[in-house]
Amino acid sequence: MVSAPSVEQLRVAIGGDVAPPTEVLSAWRTRALPLDAVERAPHQAILCAFAATGRSPALHALDQVAAGRAAEVLQALHDADAIRLTSYGDIAVAYPFSAVPTRHRVRIGDQVDVYAMCAVDALGMAPMLGRDTVIESVDVTTGRPIRVVMADGRSIWEPVEVVVFIGADAGGGPSADCCCDYLNFFTDRSSAETWVAEHTDVPGQIINQSEAEALATRLFGHLLA
């Protein structure tokens, strides 16, 4: 399994001795991507199903693109942290999608509502799908609503001073457990700094809108290519 970046990796990155945290996160997620064609086709089918219906596909549907090996392929994708399975073998997560509600809801086009695992995942849906999206989220410090419209290659952030925090806790393990809950939108830098001051055990970095969009595109823009 490809674990989330360690605390030490993020601290060193923030200290400037190596690539910044955005580069650490990008490299880590890239290592979790399926490279084998047998795994890549089902992975893409899962992402397309979420985008089209808001739900994960049925196992028998994946068998058609996995040469009858859907269960085996799903386990391999789970072990690589490309997806997460429940104890019953159902798909709970296929980054950037969550099968259960989160604080980051995304409307794809004017048709489908889905949930993202984190702020960066929500931002990654538009470049991954090549479609317009509307993100509805919330500032975890103040409870204020946040909205990001991504359409025609442009974005509108409301409020205009929204920033994003990226980081990971010290536990290690899959990103769904150790990273995603900390990658959030904040209405402004002051709100984000308040959260950071209250969570000194979560190393990370506050990034601006253009940095967040660039990171999301780097992580997800090529997944369906």
pLDDT, tens only, 176-218 = 777 889 999 999 999 999 999 999 988 889 999 999 999 999 8
d(CA 97, CA 165): 19
Q: Greatest CA span in the chain, whole angstroms?
A: 52
Hey, which bits of the chain come out as E strands?
83-85, 91-94, 97-98, 104-108, 112-116, 133-138, 145-151, 154-158, 163-167, 184-186, 204-207
Over the chain, what is the mean pLDDT? Answer: 86
Which domains does the chain possess? 7-32+98-220 (3.30.450.410), 37-94 (1.10.10)
Phi, psi of 93 (to 5 degrees): -145, 135
The number of beta carbons lying within 10 Å of the beta carbon of residue 28 is 20
Contact status, residue 81 vs residue 89, Cβ threshold 8 Å: no
- pLDDT computed for residue 107 by the predictor: 98
CA angle 102–100–107, rounded 5-degree value? 65
Per-residue pLDDT band for 37 (boundaries 50, 70, 90) equals confident
Residue 10 has pLDDT above 70, yes or no: no
- In this prediction, residue 59 carries a pLDDT of 83
pLDDT for residue 34 is more than 90 = no
CA torsion sign, 120 to 79 to 98 to 168?
Answer: negative
Residue 13: pLDDT over 50: no
- Please choose, from the candidates 41, 117, 32, 124, the residue with its C-alpha nearest in 3D space to the C-alpha of residue 78: 32
Q: What is the pLDDT confidence band of residue 28, given thresholds at 50, 70 and 90?
A: low
Percent pLDDT > 70 in the chain is 83
Q: Which residues of 165-176 are buried (b: 16+ CB within 10 A; e: fewer)?
A: bbbbbeeeebbb
What DSSP character marks residue 208?
A: -
Q: HSE on the CB side for 88, CA within 13 Å?
A: 4
Per-residue pLDDT, 64: 86
The CA-based angle 65-133-138, given to 5 degrees, is 115
The answer to whether residue 127 scores a pLDDT higher than 90 is yes
**Residue 66: alpha-carbon gap to chain centroid:** 24
Q: For 144-181, what is each residue's pLDDT tens digit? A: 999 999 999 999 999 999 999 998 776 566 777 778 89
For residue 65 the two structure tokens come to: 């693109």
